[in-house]
């Protein structure tokens, strides 16, 4: 805390007042520190794929392009790195939009159970065969007032992680529960799990339990940070439960309205 004192003095020289301005510099310093750290992280995340690409391109330019056993592989690496940079920049743009003051949700009342099933269907078509899906979603409609694009993004980020971190033959369970006008959505996998003391940190920007593994799987380290901001913008909460070696469940809530009992018929 910093205090600025100003003495109010009359022309006669008598002191008749004192103004004290208290600045919470610790808060400002924290913001500055976070910003510096964020910029350093972004620079690092971009530099890694760029230096990889540079060395592969140099090797190609030095003659590897003529070697049919090397060239396709080297080009493949540069392509993958480019894709990852595009994902990273897109994630950064999403975050910067969320951070901006004039950020608005474009909400509509929709039936969450139908919406969730559609999203799972999309993943079901593209997922690897060895992963199975288990849906535990009520048949009756549950209405939520949401920005569909944003909640699609939330579900996409969580489900992609569940698939990425699932073992051969793993099952992913999708659940929806409604209680007192709060709907709780959860996605469980049987993957590597997350150590207890890291459970809250996975929602921080660029935090990864295992950096190398996340990079190899094409991660940006921003997926859950984006999900958290989007859920909180809907007045919901997001959290994780996990057991190492057993699996992880990501939960989030949204305010809801269950369909009225059929008084009209
Ligand atoms: P990433 O792009 O690295 O997946 P996220 O923000 O989506 O970034 O997740 C942050 C970190 O949380 C991941 O790097 C991983 O360590 C951990 N994590 C997220 N989801 C899971 C999961 N289902 N199982 C195990 N670890 C997970």
- 140-186, pLDDT tens digit by residue? 999 999 999 999 999 999 999 999 999 989 999 999 999 989 999 99
Residue 265 pLDDT: 43
Residue 226 — pLDDT band, cuts 50, 70, 90? very high
Listing DSSP states for 24-72 in one string gives -HHHHHHHHHHHHHHHHHHHHHHHHHHHHHHHHHHHHHTTGGG-TTTHH
Residue 8 has pLDDT above 70, yes or no: no
Residue 259 pLDDT: 60
The mean pLDDT value for 80-101 works out to 91
Which of 17-26, 28-37, 173-182 is most confident? 173-182
CA dist., res. 91 & res. 105, Å (int): 18
- Report the pocket of ligand 1 as residue ranges, CB < 6 Å: 157, 161-162, 165, 189, 191-192, 194, 202, 207-210, 214, 219-225, 248
Residue 261 has pLDDT above 80, yes or no: no
Listing DSSP states for 140-191 in one string gives S-EEEEE-HHHHHHHHHHHHHHHHHTPPTT-EEEEEEEEETTEEEEEEEE-S
Residue 22 has pLDDT above 80, yes or no: no
Mean predicted lDDT score pLDDT of the chain: 90
CA dist., res. 241 & res. 88, Å (int): 26
Nearest residue (CA) to ligand 1, atom 23: 162
Closest-lying ligand 1 atom to the alpha carbon of residue 218? 2
The mean pLDDT value for 193-205 works out to 93
Nearest residue (CA) to ligand 1, atom 13: 208
Query: How many angstroms separate the Cα of 235 from the Cα of each of 105, 133, 156, 209?
Result: 12, 28, 19, 27
Burial label for 249, CB within 10 Å (0-12, 13-18, 19+), is: middle
């Amino acid at each position: 805390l910093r205090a600025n004192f100003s003495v109010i003095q009359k022309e006669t020289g008598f002191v008749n007042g004192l103004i004290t301005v208290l600045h919470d510099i610790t808060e400002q310093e924290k913001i500055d520190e976070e910003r510096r750290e964020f910029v350093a992280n972004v620079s690092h995340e971009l530099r890694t794929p760029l230096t990889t690409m540079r060395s592969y391109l140099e090797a190609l330019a030095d003659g590897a392009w003529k070697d049919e056993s090397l060239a396709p592989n080297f080009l493949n690496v540069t392509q993958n790195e480019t894709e990852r940079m595009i994902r990273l920049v897109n994630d950064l743009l999403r975050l910067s939009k969320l951070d901006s003051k004039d950020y608005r949700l474009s909400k509509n009342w929709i039936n969450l159970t139908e919406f969730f099933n559609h999203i799972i269907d999309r993943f079901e078509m593209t997922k690897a065969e060895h992963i199975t899906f288990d849906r535990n979603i009520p048949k009756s409609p549950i209405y939520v007032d949401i920005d569909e694009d944003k909640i699609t993004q939330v579900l996409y980020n969580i489900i992609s992680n569940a698939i990425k971190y699932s073992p051969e033959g793993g099952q992913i369970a999708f659940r929806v529960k409604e209680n007192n006008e709060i709907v709780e959505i959860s996605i469980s996998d049987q993957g590597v799990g997350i150590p207890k003391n890291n459970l809250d940190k996975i929602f921080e920007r660029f935090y990864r339990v295992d950096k190398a593994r996340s990079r190899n799987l094409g991660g940006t380290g921003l997926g859950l940070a984006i999900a958290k901001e989007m859920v909180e913008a809907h007045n919901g909460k997001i959290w994780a439960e996990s057991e190492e070696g057993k699996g992880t469940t990501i939960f989030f809530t949204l305010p809801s309205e269950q369909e009225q009992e059929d008084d009209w018929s």
